[in-house]
Structure 1
């Protein structure tokens, strides 16, 4: 839906700026070097931890616990080789993913390697500590807080990659609102652009999860107690999250850009004309941004409800924001026009 938008679109001009090929190549090699260093560090730790303390460890070692009691073991050699082999498989899978999925997968490959590396090393360290100075593997110490600490550290390491990519965004762009598509709008004339996208599958998921939450709540109130309440929490969370991502509306006015989410228009984000460096239309797919919904990736922030054209906003500060709506080029043109007027 578009109201009051008049005039011809002006072609997008190329932004002036220095060639960034050298810095891009440097960043690529730095990323590869960091990945190689991380891969080697994890492999060395997995192999070295058991052998560094082999004089104080039983052979075989306890490697599996049933609650607080050790119920499985491996030889010292196997306890070092098995996690290292798992790490080698993870590295091979990451290499294949980067080879075939390309640049958009790099953020998530990094997240997976961070999570997997910390998880394996943490588990290896916990196993060594549990077996340290024990007469045999059946007398290994029970594992408790160590498991929770390893999981928390692994999740934090897994989130670090996407967070860094989100902070980095897509790098500097010299283009400004004056260089992007614009509308030939007479001075003093006001215009409004409005576009809305609905994802019916997310709406269906929200409805089904909502019914599940309501049903489990009724069952709990009817006497089922704990199990029903345990089902209520995840269903309610999924229902709220899916409903919030099931639809999005973008609106450009003289006040700037407003993006609202869900059937009630909340939460919402706002960019004033002074906040906008440039806007454009760009075609994106879920594979490029890491899935559906509200995504953080190397492309910045993307609200992905359907593949295809997106309105992309590059603010003066922070990373880019994209929203998948129809007629995005006209919305970008009007936003550039409003931003250029404010700057002038």
Structure 2
């Protein structure tokens, strides 16, 4: 837990770069280009256009995971893609039962990437330290982070504050 006065709230935010998604995006674009550029120059425009659509459909979602903003505050946990500016994960503070830190092993969470499994999901960018959020319904979400102790402690502290304190500061009621 982080020491906060009765009327204080805290915020934590980090931008992370996921090298695994940089490489995955580059590999997809390179392979697709190697296959579809010769097809396009051979005169088969239809296949070339289809290939371009495939490249975009695969590369854009991969690239959206390259730079992520992770935020912890009175709203809970939020993960947003900086490329597309879309939320990838939101867990409201009032839906969080517990937060803990642990060593995340990709093999235990479905391998690398954004994984969805029965009862749990994860954003595993590497093996190492991470944070696991357990919702009030028992579902878990894990994310690998440097220094996961700080956001975990802040979520635990904010979650333990009386709801009238966070409500008066603009938080969930």
**2-side partners of 1:234 and 1:332: how far apart?**
39
| Cα distance, 1:331 vs structure 2 | 0.5
Equivalent position of 1:244 in the other structure: 64
TM-superposition CA deviations, 1:173-217 (whole Å, max 9, x none): xxxxxxxxx11111222321123332223113324534646x948
RMSD between aligned alpha carbons? 2.8
2:99 maps to 1:279: yes
2:121 maps to 1:301: yes
**2-side partners of 1:196 and 1:219: how far apart?**
39
Runs of 5+ in structure 1 lacking a partner?
A: 1-181
Equivalent position of 2:23 in the other structure: 204
Alignment of 1:217-228 (within 5 A): 220=40, 223-228=43-48
The correspondence for 1:330, drawn from 143, 146, 150, is: 150
Question: What TM-score results when the alignment is normalised by the length of structure 2?
Answer: 0.77
Alignment of 1:37-56 (within 5 A): none
Alignment of 1:113-132 (within 5 A): none
| Change beyond 3 A, Cα 1:236–1:217 | farther
| Change beyond 3 A, Cα 1:241–1:258 | same
**2-side partners of 1:241 and 1:309: how far apart?**
25
| Cα distance, 1:316 vs structure 2 | 1.0
| Change beyond 3 A, Cα 1:240–1:324 | same
The correspondence for 2:73, drawn from 239, 250, 253, is: 253
Question: What TM-score results when the alignment is normalised by the length of structure 1?
Answer: 0.42
Q: Which runs of 4+ in 1 moved over 6 A?
A: none
Higher RCO structure, 1 or 2 (CA under 8 Å, sep 6+): 2
**2-side partners of 1:302 and 1:249: how far apart?**
15
Higher-Rg structure is 1
2:86 maps to 1:266: yes
Aligned length: 162
Q: Is the 8 A contact 2:39 2:47 kept in 1?
A: no
The alignment partner of 1:338 has SS state of: helix
Range 289-298 or range 313-322, more displaced: 289-298
- The structure with the greater share of residues assigned to helix is 1
The alignment partner of 1:321 has SS state of: strand
| Change beyond 3 A, Cα 1:272–1:342 | farther
| Change beyond 3 A, Cα 1:255–1:221 | farther
The alignment partner of 2:83 has SS state of: coil
Q: Is the 8 A contact 2:100 2:132 kept in 1?
A: yes
Q: Is the 8 A contact 2:78 2:87 kept in 1?
A: no
Runs of 5+ in structure 2 lacking a partner?
A: 165-173
**2-side partners of 1:271 and 1:336: how far apart?**
13
